[in-house]
Amino acid sequence: MFTAYDEKRQLFCLLDQSEVPNDQMKQLVWHCPICEEAVLYRAGGKNRPHFSHYSNSSCAGSAETKEHREGKERLYAWVKTFAEEVEVEKWLPMIDRRADVWFRYRGVHYVFEMQCSPVDRMAIRERTLAYESQSIQVLWVLPAELMKRTATAIYIQEWQQEACFQTGSFPPQLMYLGQQLSIATLSAYMSPRKFIASWSSLPLTPSGFSLLIHDHLSVKNEPKAQLFYKQQSRYGKVKLQTAFSQHVQERLYRYKSPLYLHPAECGWFVPGQVWVSEPPVVWQTYVWLSLIESEQHEFHEWINDELAEVMKWLGMSERQAIRLMSQYVQLLQRLHGQKPNDTLLPTLELSFPKSADEAHRQDRQIYARLPVTFKKTL
Ligand SMILES: [Zn+2]
């Protein structure tokens, strides 16, 4: 930690003080702002001076790694160059959380959360919701060491997907902190762990942050990668392991179709796919069937009927589910020549390809009509 209470219960931040002699600091008594326990001032060696708990502490602030501390320090130094107000390790008693780097920029409150170790994906979601309840936008940042990539793809774990979505960027992006900020923009689904991504990097300069929040408004779709994914799913490469995929297959049996002969309109990437751990072929076939079977003609009526089921099967919040469903319905609208944002649901025809080869031909026709970009307002 970089902050502690001094003997007068004043909050002392090491990152804001440059010249305090170590001997003097070590003689003072310091207390943790979270648990109020006494903490040690540590300085010397390669580490930047910091406060740390005694080894038997159970405080949430006691398990901090060097990596996490260094990430916070770099983010704090950067944010100071452009923010109207900034605080490292800001304590937010209303939500019982300590933000890594809290700041205000153009009147909006943000928090950089540096996540260095794997966590439960629900923890990422809950923390984000807690901040949002205080009108704070969270920007999740991972250390560059966790970046697993090739030139065009990114490999991410579940909790990283969650961080990617929860950052609220659109299209879904994941940020990695090294000497600069590396940003992966996800543009096609390949498997629950692999996405096609494009990469950019942002220098940690005063203008960098406004570029980050303003310049990334649309995602270039990667139809080629998508077609490859569709081809694999046609020829039996998509495994049906989850209860949800079995449920979808059972529904399809009513129409005497195996899943690999799903309609060509199913299985394409929409940006919200990053929130789902089910393959697009599976969940979109589910939605497609639901649209076919629904008596409703308007999107809002249909979603009213379906929301609870979608949330249950896909394990999503209401907000996520509505966003994902509207993205997919809009894709269907475009494919049927309707205007996106039309409130009417597209009229779908109940027919299935008869063979994988026929299906693949149909997929190629759809592929030619896919939108190139997804706009922020989807
Ligand atoms: Zn503590």
Tell me the CA–centroid distance for residue 28 and ligand 1, in Å.
Answer: 17
d(CA 305, CA 130): 28
Q: What is the pLDDT of residue 4?
A: 92
Is the distance from CB of 367 to CB of 229 less than 8 angstroms? no
d(CA 68, CA 142): 9
Phi-psi region of 317 (alpha: psi -120 to 50; beta: other; left: phi over 0): beta
Angle between helices 318-335 and 280-293 (to 10 degrees): 80
CA angle centred on 367, ends 363 and 373, rounded to 5°: 150
d(CA 254, CA 84): 60
How much is the CA Rg of the chain, to the nearest whole Å? 24
Tell me the CA–centroid distance for residue 89 and ligand 1, in Å.
Answer: 12
Q: What is the pLDDT of residue 131?
A: 87
Tell me the CA–centroid distance for residue 53 and ligand 1, in Å.
Answer: 7
**Using the 8-state DSSP alphabet, how is residue 33 labeled?**
T
Residue with tokens 């995602």: 219
Tell me the CA–centroid distance for residue 92 and ligand 1, in Å.
Answer: 14
Q: What are phi and psi of 268, to 5 degrees?
A: -105, 155
Whether the bond into 171 is cis, omega within 30 of 0: yes
CATH of domain 66-217: 3.40.1350
Q: What is the pLDDT of residue 375?
A: 43
Q: What is the pLDDT of residue 24?
A: 82
User: Residue 298 in 3-state DSSP?
Assistant: strand
Residue-wise pLDDT tens digits, 14-67: 888 766 777 888 888 999 988 889 999 988 777 788 999 988 888 877 778 889
pTM here is 0.75
Tell me the CA–centroid distance for residue 111 and ligand 1, in Å.
Answer: 20
Tell me the CA–centroid distance for residue 99 and ligand 1, in Å.
Answer: 14
Which pair of tokens denotes residue 340?
A: 């996106």
Question: 157: closest CA among 181, 124, 114, 198?
Answer: 124
Q: What are the residue ranges spanned by the domains of the chain?
A: 3-63, 66-217, 224-374
Tell me the CA–centroid distance for residue 257 and ligand 1, in Å.
Answer: 59
**Section 135-147 average pLDDT:** 92
Residue with tokens 């807690």: 130
Tell me the CA–centroid distance for residue 131 and ligand 1, in Å.
Answer: 21
Tell me which residues have their CB within 5 A of the ion that is ligand 1: 32, 34-35, 59, 61
Residue-wise pLDDT tens digits, 328-346: 999 999 899 988 778 999 9
Q: What is the dihedral of CA 74, 80, 84, 87, to 10 degrees?
A: 60
